[in-house]
Structure 1
Amino acid sequence: MSQSLIPPGGSLIRTLKGHIDPVKAVAITQNGKKAVSASGDYSLKVWDLETGQELWTLWGHSGSVNVVAITPDGKKAVSGSRDNTLIVWDLEAGKDIYTFMDHAKWIRAIAITPDGKMAVSGSDDCTIKVWDLETGQKIQTLSGHIADVYTIAITPNGKKVVSGSGDRTLKVWDLETGQELRTLRGHKSSLMAVIITPDSNKAISASRDNTLKIWNLETGQEIQTLQGHTAPVWAVAITPDCKRVLSASDDQTLKIWDLGTGRDLKTLVGHTQPVYALAIDPNGNKVISGSKDNSLMVWDLRAGQLIKVLKGHGLLVWIVAVTSDGKKALSASKDGTLKLWDLEAGQHIKTLRGHSDWIRAAVFISDNEAISASYDATLKMWDLKTGKIIAEFTGEGPITAIAAAPSRRTIVVGESSGRVHFIILENYHNHSYRY
């Protein structure tokens, strides 16, 4: 670790060095006090977000560390690697507790139960394994998929696991008994995503077969197949009231579906290229879509009508974010610009220029401030009222990962160089810094 600067009147920024390969994942504890980074250099690092110090380097894997998850209490982490193992770490002592060596291929996914007592892993070996984080024992191997397990979701009540695979099926598993409850068959191609309703009763899956399906997790029955898209479905979301499902597709459309009946309520036509991004405002009144056609569109969900076409980006729109009050949206594009939009008036407010390459991440840290990160190796903090850059941070290579603490005043940035940077976002005005 090396101290990089102390800006006038500001908080200390430190460059957290140590990784010698790209940072693959960053996770932050729920209390915002620690971060864990996972790298292709076979290691993980634990950082103190209050002091910016590296607490531990965690060695144990013999392959790239692909995924990391932290228990709800912030005391343990579970990492998954290309060496086919998972390791459970004590984040307070900086030591490995258990190594799980039962998978035969890469670990693709890890989920931890809401009570923090179990971890569930999915692998290219076509299996799912359930682990007891308190005893270090494998509880169960869930076998049944005949292709890679790409996605895992645990119901909010912690009772079931839903897995999606390249074998075109989903499986529902009972976490208490470790038994397969149902195989959900019906999709004709790989599963792209699965989401679970807040009441833990239903799952909605999206597939490359151009359909979505609604499933009853209590009975395992397919409630409805949502047909209408004519190309793969890339994204799915549920409105805050849990009454409607939105989908975005390669067929250049969005669809609004009734979650209760599965009825196609409306097809939103306007984009001229595949639709990749969806963001629903907190009130559930509007949806903003981002497309390969370089535009954003704001839609009235109640009327199912286009409110405004937000044009201006020169290349595809990669990211869309909405403020907490639902009044503004921020779009980031491969053209190196961000655009701020008034969702009530449907008007372009500002174009934020400064990056010289593809913007890979953008987050609101308040309704009036945002952070953007780019392949141009810079991180920029914006005043959204004036459209000006408050602070600029320059690193040595493209920025590949960002995680924000719950307070939104602290961020952890991972570069392709393998370094991790910890930044406290306080009292920065009209300054430029180098890592």
Structure 2
Amino acid sequence: MNHSDAILDRLMSLHPKVIDLSLDRMQRLLAALGNPERRIPAVIHIAGTNGKGSTQAMIRAGLQAGGARIHAYTSPHLARFHERIRLAGDLIAETDLAAALEECEAANGGQPITFFEITTAAAFLAFSRTPADYTLLEVGLGGRLDATNVIDTPRLTVITPVSIDHTQYLGDTLPLIAAEKAGIIKRGVPVIVGPQDDEALRVIEAKASGLTAPVLAHGQHWMIARDRGGMIYQDDHGLWDLPLPTLIGPHQIQNAGTALAALRHLGASEAQARAAVTQAEWPARMQRLRHGPLVDLAGAGAELWLDGGHNPAGGEALAATLAAMPPRPTHLVCGMLNTKDVAGYLRPLAAHASSLTAIDIPGEANTLPAETTAGVAGSVGMIAMTAPDAGTAIAGIARRDPTARILICGSLYLAGRVLRENG
């Protein structure tokens, strides 16, 4: 166990709840640390239900192609906590992470604070001590009361598509959820708005109007569209003729548009725009696994894919991705959390899957039992069964169909376990 892992384990116990949305504890701790959030490089703050991570990855690739040094903060991590914090482009070193965590633990003095809050404070501390040009800050949950929402004047805010998710914290209608996401909008700071349902867009525009924040919205101020084998991005400044994103799936075109609108506002060149869509990497978003023990279990004739989407919009995006791929029998290995709309996620996938093998998410207290996932899959018309783990599921599918496309899906937590298991 790394030194930082031991500290992270201790920090888990400082608050009885994993999630308790409020900014009071965060502001108290940041004040005790000397307010490092006021000394970090220009912030681009990103909220939204789907596509935050991919959009952030493309903005980062575009800015780095122009020579900028980028801090980035994202969650959750897949294999190691260090993935959440990038300092000037590189994942945070173990010594820097452990030092920042210990300093936050000492400053907090044992008072109640959630794991996400104290680790976000540690990220701010690290960002404040390493020179960079921009800080890309991804919201953890919602926006208005998220621990990242303590930056008074970001350089830019970005809202990716909003859909229904985390209803127990954010409300159960689209306008309520959009209002939480729009909580990152700041007075006079431009907001880039990705494709939205009309009722979400109205809420976002009203919030921006009240804060005299200029809105740069998809469909009004910028467009993105497929064009022959590539895509066209267009806004008031002109047109960029670009290749399709290397991140796979039709929804990545929308994410690319949002990232390009942000880059254009920051003065990026067409070469940077090209780098944004061709050089971004974002694991567990329709990622092809090509080596490792799980790939060996699938066999030489099969394809093994991994996707961490987990809500109905994620299911629809994944279904559209499968529809656009060369036809091949597709078998799902699926594990989900018990907080998710399982039927809403699986329903769009039913038409594209030859079978679904349900598994528990290993080591996850909130896993949905495999039998329950399989039952829901059956109710939306899938041929469904269960297996004790991903390896057994993959081996079983490969025996039945040696040329299968096998897709592990349903949760970022499952995706993280799979990436660790597969080395």
Whether TM-score is above 0.5 comes out as no
Tell me which protein shows more strand as a share of its residues.
1
Tell me which protein shows more helix as a share of its residues.
2
Q: 1 or 2 for the larger relative contact order (CA 8 Å, sep ≥6)? A: 2
